[in-house]
Amino acid sequence: MHPVPLLRPDTLLFIYYIEGIVPALHTISAANFIGNWVEDDFSFLFFTQPAKDQVVEILTEFKGLKLLDEYKMTYAEWQGGSIEPVRIGRFLLNPTWIKASPGADDIAITLDSGVVFGNGTHPTTQACLEAIDIACSGKKAKTMLDLGSGTGILALAAAKLGCEKIIAVDYNFLATQTACMNVRLNHLEDQILVVNGRAEEHTSVATDLLVANIHYDVMKDLVRTEGFLRQKWFVLSGLLRGEVDKITEFLHTQPVLILKRWNQDDIWHTLLGITNMPETK
Instruction: Compute CA 190 distance to the chain's CA centroid, rounded to the nearest angstrom.
Output: 19
The alpha carbon torsion through 111, 116, 119, 124 (nearest 10 deg) reads: -130
Residue 13, pLDDT > 60, answer: yes
3-state secondary structure (DSSP) of residue 173: helix
Amino acid at 105: D
- The contacts of residue 55 (CB under 8 Å, 6+ apart) are 16, 18, 45, 67
Q: What share of the chain is helix, strand, coil (3-state, %, to 5)?
A: 25, 30, 40
Domain coordinates in residue numbering, the chain: 12-78, 116-275
3-state secondary structure (DSSP) of residue 108: strand
What distance in Å separates the CA atoms of residue 123 and residue 237, rounded to the nearest whole number? 10
- Is the domain spanning 116-275 CATH 2.60.40.650? The answer is no
From the candidate CATH numbers 3.50.70, 2.60.40, 1.10.3470, 3.30.70, the one assigned to the domain spanning 12-78:
3.30.70
Dump pLDDT digits (tens) for 180-233. Answer: 999 999 999 999 999 999 998 999 989 999 999 999 999 999 999 999 999 999
Distances (CA, A) of 121 to 83, 110, 153: 10, 14, 11
Residue 281, pLDDT > 50, answer: no
The alpha carbon torsion through 177, 180, 186, 192 (nearest 10 deg) reads: 150
Dump pLDDT digits (tens) for 113-152. Answer: 888 877 788 899 999 999 999 999 988 899 999 999 999 9
